[in-house]
Amino acid sequence: MTALVIALTTILADGSVLVKSGDQLVMEYLYAGKEHTAFKPYVRKLLSPAGVNPLRDNVIDHIHHHALMFAVAVDGVDFWIEHKNAGRQATKDVKAVKRSEGQIQGLQSAVEWRSADGKLIACETRTVEVSRTGGATLLWWTTTLSPPPGKDSIKLTGSHYFGLGLRFVQSMDKADRFLFSDAEPKSTLVRGVEKVTPSAWAAFGGAADGREVTVAMFDHPANIRQACWFTMYAPFAYLSATLNLYREPLTVTADKPLTLRYGVAVWDGKTPREQIEKAARGWVEMSTKP
């Protein structure tokens, strides 16, 4: 593993957090101070060990697609889309975190989910961490979502793609190259080429900046539901870890906040299924370490 150094001064300067390995950027997280963060904080860049970023931000066809982002609907307020009546995720506190003797580093933040009129809808504690291991860049995303003070519960709903989503760079569009932990996955076709697939992990490959990359997302067995992976490849490529909320809304109570854990791995080149499976198992094991 390569030790990572977080640039604390960047947190103070412009509303972004940079995580680096030596002089090389590994992750860029935006949470304030820029037009694109008006509705939600997100991971803008997540680079492979060779320095390739497969994520695309704020594209014209879907201005609300921000690289790697998390959003659902809460009590009827839509936090995915971005318009005057949409909800907004406001970051109130950010601090650097590290564990495993500094080999895993990133940030922790408090995020207030508010309606367009400013009403507090939900409270989130978010941790985003990265490392370099097994020939890949590996990201941990941990979200704990709870009702605001004085409220007993909140109800999570949403479309079939709501969750932790990845929008890929344009050169990766229209390539039907999704893999799942199950060799013969039981996918449900929702519309067009859009599918949802329950599985322990999902992966997608293609060319970014002229170089082949593989991106995988891992579910954690402690999550309240197994991930249903939303996938599409045309007219653009997208992958999202969902809770199947469009079929099964979820109620979160004040005495039992919802904690979700997902992993994201980026490799250079075409990564075989066996290597992805090994990385997924390793990520789960590493998630239990302090």
Taken in order 13, 17, 19, 25, the sign of the CA dihedral is negative
Burial of 290 (0-12, 13-18, 19+ CB in 10 A): exposed
pTM of the model: 0.94
User: To which residue do tokens 């990201």 refer?
Assistant: 139
Check if CATH label 2.70.98 holds for domain 5-287. Answer: yes
Mean pLDDT, residues 259-276 taken together? 97
What is the Cα–Cα distance from 285 to 256, expressed in whole angstroms?
24
On average, the pLDDT of the chain sits at 92
What is the Cα–Cα distance from 70 to 80, expressed in whole angstroms?
8
What is the Cα–Cα distance from 234 to 214, expressed in whole angstroms?
18
Strands (E), 209-268: 211-219, 228-232, 238-242, 250-253, 258-268
What is the Cα–Cα distance from 68 to 117, expressed in whole angstroms?
26
Residues whose CB falls within 8 Å of the CB of residue 9, separated by 6 or more in sequence, listed in order:
none
Task: Convert the pLDDT of each residue in 139-180 to its tens digit.
Answer: 999 999 999 999 999 999 999 999 999 999 999 999 889 999
Residue 46 has pLDDT above 80, yes or no: yes
